[in-house]
Chain A
Amino acid sequence: MQDFGYIAAKTVSEAVALLDEKGQTARILAGGTDLIVQVREARRDVDWMIDIKSIPEVNVLDYNADTGLTLGAAVECFKIYAVDEICDAYPGLIDATKIIGGTAIQGRAGVGGNLCNASPAADCIPPLIVLNASCVIAGPNGERELPAEQFCTGPGQTALENGEMLVSLKIPAPASNSSSFYLRFIPRNEMDIAVVGAGASVTLDDAKQTIVSARIALGAVAPTPLFAEEASALLTGREVSDATIDEAAQAAQAIARPISDMRGTAEQRTHLVGVLTRRALNGAIQRIRDAA
């Protein structure tokens, strides 16, 4: 592995100052499950790794039924799905945290790192988008927030400017009669990268028959995870039916622009967007109806 310096930052301002000073070849180290592999395989040139795991703000895991979830950028997957209230409030996010790698990966990898690694196939990003997550970013000029769907700008590329780091993710409290769902297609049962991923969040009326609002997001069918804005919007005010769900699935297919690679062809991926969008919507709706 190439030689690099290691600094364990103690505060956000120290990490930001280091990032600002060291420039583009400095990288934030959280769980390391992507970064260490990329450096070892010489896919990323890194002179400095700035370990943020000693910084209090990136370790916050705080859920409040009124204000929602604050999820520190370095919180590992296993800590998230250990909290029952979070599992109940954001099941779509939990779906993703439970299928990223195996047990040992989930012991180190977190949602924040999954977002910052900015893989088009990242499992956590579609759930963050459908749950209206906001990215809290610290930089030399202070703090700013960015909606999750605007965070990734290309494969491995993010909206983070020089000197900026992700501190936490803020997810609003779920509305009543709402739920979320994420699933992916992989050719085996476990331990694989999404051929296509789809997330959905749905809010129903009190009778649980009419869609008040919905959000759909797709993974692995474009250079970044996609918010399927039109497919989401057309569901507003519609009664739940197979025809309505099909319409949304077709609108989602219309924005997919997948590539063909070793995991699947563009044609297969486009087909899968329809199948998975239907299943994600129906899955979220079923969860709402199953809740007492």
Chain B
Amino acid sequence: MARKSHVQTTINGETVEFLCESRQSLLEVLRDELHLTGAKEGCNNGNCGACSVILDGRLVNSCLVLGVETEGKSVETIEGVAEPDKLHPIQDAFLENAALQCGICTPGFIMSTKALLDQNPNPTEHEIRYWLAGNLCRCTGYDKIVRAVQDAAESM
């Protein structure tokens, strides 16, 4: 078996240590080693956005990041978005607007939306659609998602 590296990183505000092989992606580390299964594996090549997480404040596809690259970095995942007894306004807006059906893409869309609203609290529809172009949804037709993002921006 391949040699494992020790990595220390911050995930959703907490210091986390793990062992991983160089070839394990951040997505595999999150799901298989740390049992944070919110980020989903869709295409595993950077096209679908289902594995979107925020790395040092920037949206990335966790399937295109190596786990060993996160040494000393800060990772935000869908598990850190809600408070213990209360959903995040973005999550509420997705529910209220029925912006999901099967739900596989939803954690990625919510992380992507969070990254957008963190840096641009009042995006136009055009900005929303371009920002979210790296997240694919096969159920909703995107319109409800765009409306949910607009609602979330208004409520935040």
Contacts and interface: CB of A to CB of B under 8 A. Distances in A.
B118 to A, nearest CB: 12
B60 interface: yes
Contact of A32 (B64, B115, B116, B134): B64
Contacts of A101: 46, 134
B61 interface: yes
B150 interface: no
Q: Is chain B's interface secondary structure helix, strand, loop, or mixed overall? A: mixed
B2 A6 contact: no
A191 B131 CA distance: 11
A102 B63 CA distance: 14
B69 interface: yes
Interface in A85-119: 101-105, 107-108
Nearest to B20: A6
A33 B23 contact: no
A32 B68 contact: no
Interface string A177-197: 000000000000111000000
Interface string B112-144: 100110000000000000111111000000000
Interface in B26-84: 44-47, 49, 52, 55, 58-61, 63-66, 68-69, 71
A102 B52 CA distance: 11
Given A4-B23, A108-B60, A103 B65 contact: no
A37 B46 contact: yes
Top 9 A-B pairs ranked by shortest CB distance? A102-B134, A6-B22, A107-B58, A190-B133, A1-B23, A3-B2, A102-B133, A104-B61, A37-B45
A51 B71 CA distance: 12
A102 B49 contact: yes
Given A6-B66, A33-B46, A40-B45, A102 B135 contact: yes
B5 interface: yes
11 contacts: A3-B23, A4-B22, A6-B69, A32-B65, A37-B46, A102-B49, A103-B112, A103-B115, A104-B49, A104-B112, A108-B65
A76 B2 CA distance: 30
Interface string A1-42: 111111010000000000000000000010111001101110
B106 interface: no
A36 B64 CA distance: 6
A3 B131 contact: no
Contacts of A40: 44-45
Interface of A: 1-6, 8, 29, 31-33, 36-37, 39-41, 49, 51, 53, 76, 78, 101-105, 107-108, 189-191
B58 A78 contact: yes
A105 B23 contact: no
Contacts of B3: 5
A5 B130 contact: no
Contacts of A51: 69
Interface string B5-34: 100000000000000011101000000000
Contact of A103 (B5, B69, B133): B133
A135 to B, nearest CB: 24
B74 to A, nearest CB: 14
A36 B5 CA distance: 18
A36 B47 CA distance: 13
Given A6-B5, A37-B45, A49-B66, A104 B60 contact: yes
